[in-house]
Amino acid sequence: MNTTASDDQSIQHSESAPHDGIRHVVILKTATDWRSVRRIASQQFRTSPENWLVFVITRTPDALGDLSDAWTGDIGFLAERSGAKTVLGTRDELFDLMGKIGAGLDNVLIFQPKGIIGKYLGYRLYRNLRSILKSAELHRMECDALTSGYSIVHSAENPKSGRKTLWNLAGVLGLVGLSAYVCWEFRASTPIVFPYMVMITSVVLSAVLFGRWGGLVAAAAGMLMLNFLFVIPIRSIKIDSVEDIMTLVIFLVVGSLTSVLVGRAADLLSSAREKQAFNEIVLKISRKLTETVTLEKAYELVAGELEKPLNARVFIVDYRYGEKVFAAELAKQTGYDILPADLLAAQIALETGEPTGYGTSVANDTILHFQPISGGNNPSGLIVIDKIEEQKLADPRIRVLIEVVADLSGIAVERIIAEEEVEQVRAKETTENLHNTVLSAVSHDFRTPLSTIIGSATSLQAFRDKYDEETINSLLDDIYNEASRLDRFVAEVLDLTKLEHDDLESRLEPVDLVDIVDTVAESISSHLANFNFERDFDHPIPFVSGEALLLEKIVQNFLENATKYSGAGSNITAILKSNGSTVVFTVADSGVGIAPENLERIFERLFKVRHASHTESSPGLGLSICKEIARLHGGRVWAESDGQGKGSRFNLELPVDNVIVLENSEMTG
């Protein structure tokens, strides 16, 4: 059976309602407007009305049987126009329908009347539905009376506010009762005004502890208690004399005025404290934002500082990369399926620079509140607030707090973006300078050996018949040595380029530095034979996490440098020490030493140290490669020297791998 609502739109009764695939149900048991229902249901279900079944409970089997049920037809028609499947029916028809489709439901949202009777009826409906629907989530919402086409909706599932009111009332009556008991116990030994003074004290305490309404209730209760216990006839509310009536009226007036004044003073004190807390939050966020250097840290800071005063979830979502990236990030942070209403509210907030969404009058068909952040001339992101009470968003102080924090965030974002742009320009200039330096060094270091190779080869081609065998072999040695030098230089350039783009983490394994030092020392034993080479190792030396071949390059570079810059017969010592969390490898020599101003620069690319007693032919990439390898291993390299002619110490520090420490003898034996 169908009933026409308007414009030939049909609203179905329960017996003919299509319900295949329905997972969300809205049950209306009170006169409320569709705008409020749609907003709350969208927030609860996170889906559009096309996926809902709206069941409007009617008073009679005929939904439009009388004018008192006219609202059911209106809201049913509006629900139909929104795309929802709408059913009009009685409570029994609702229970029958829920029994048929209950197994497939995810959420049921009940809108019940406000008030004690409404709560009782709503709770009965909830209990009946709970016995039918075992797996679905049931929620109750409480609606004010429908006025001017709009109704205020509150959650009916959180009894904290009602309990708080009852506890406050109990506290007020307890203070009044305690005061009456004290007055009664000391009535024989105290003046006649004593009970009135004690009751006034209880009124003041009630106003301080429970607000002005608590003081007013205490004044009324105190007047009744004084009349009952201390006005003749005692233990009766009857008053015989006009004087007693005037006394009680004056007490009530004084008590009421006192409670109002004390309550107002308490409100002012509370407001001052809230302002102080507000200022402290703003100053704290402002101070921390000035120290923040990345957008990620700034967003994390703002969200964390706002969550406590708002008692809500707060996210900062970047919008600089477009709507698709924004929607993906919003879904990731909130854990919700993002609806078109969410994106519409966000877009309007960015275009207008004003807050939108939940708690506002603009695009409020969403569970989220959006506050735009402007970084420079373009919108940079949004402060997204979830699970906040609508009444809190209506508080002007909260709105000001959110707007001020958004402005501070915008200033910080603008500063950070400007700094990043400056850093990018500097990095580009550094890269260009480095490229120019590399090209200059490459051209120079290529030209010198190539000139030698070309000269020697030309001489052999032109005068081979005139040269003796010793001269020919000398020219061939020059060609071979210079070609080898070029080969090493090209290999070092390729190694450094590879290391800058290397992902070493997947290849890390426990490495024994003792074994690596012994292996490298053996491989260059012909060089070390001319020196007094010694080892100084702690026992045991823990493993480090790394790639053996790369660490061998550092050890070999340190030892070869020591042989290159030390005189024959001088001391060279390989040292391995551990402090439990790191292992330090050191090569100490007694060679030419390093000037203090060059101790850090020697690890720069293409930097060369000129010594009067030594001609450097290396292109200056070896130590920079060592520095890059150490960085990839989470370690560091550095040099130490007491000055030129006083020897050097080259150090490599690496973190210890989280493995069992074995004695070196066990590892090698």
| Whole-number Å distance between alpha carbons of 462 and 191 | 138
Domains of the chain in sequence order: 2-158 (3.40.50), 161-268 (no CATH), 288-411 (3.30.450.40), 505-668 (3.30.565.10)
Higher pLDDT, 596 or 13: 596
Q: What is the pLDDT of residue 650?
A: 94
CA distances from 246 to 218, 239, 253, 488, 626 (A): 19, 11, 10, 112, 98
Residue 237 C-alpha from the chain's centroid: 63
Q: What is the pLDDT of residue 342?
A: 87
Alpha-helical segments (H) within 531-621: 548-564
How many C-beta atoms surround the C-beta of residue 437 within 10 A?
14
Q: What is the pLDDT of residues 111-169, one digit of tens each?
A: 887 777 777 788 888 888 888 888 888 888 877 644 434 444 444 444 444 566 778 78
Cβ neighbors of 600 (< 8 A, separation 6 or more) are: 638, 639
Residue 1, pLDDT above cutoff 70: no
Q: What is the pLDDT of residues 453-479, one digit of tens each?
A: 888 888 888 877 878 888 888 888 888
Please compute the mean of the pLDDT values over residues 196-215 and round it to a whole number: 80
CB 340 within 8 A of CB 333: no
Q: What is the pLDDT of residue 486?
A: 75
How many C-beta atoms surround the C-beta of residue 199 within 10 A?
26
Cβ neighbors of 100 (< 8 A, separation 6 or more) are: 19
| Whole-number Å distance between alpha carbons of 12 and 80 | 10
**Mean per-residue pLDDT of the chain:** 78
Q: What is the pLDDT of residues 56-110, one digit of tens each?
A: 887 655 544 443 445 555 677 778 877 888 888 888 888 888 888 877 888 898 8
Alpha-helical segments (H) within 565-599: none
Q: What is the pLDDT of residue 139?
A: 85
- DSSP letters spanning 124-187: HHHHHHHHH-SSSEEEEEEEPPPBTTB--EEESS-THHHHHHHHHHHHHHHHHHHHHHHHHHTT
Q: What is the pLDDT of residues 568-578, one digit of tens each?
A: 889 999 999 99
Give the SS3 label for residue 544. Answer: strand
What does pTM read for this prediction?
0.50
Residue 400 C-alpha from the chain's centroid: 22
- 171-185, 257-271, 371-385, 489-503: least confident range: 489-503
Please compute the mean of the pLDDT values over residues 325-352 and round it to a whole number: 88
What proportion of the chain, given as a percentage, has pLDDT over 70?
78
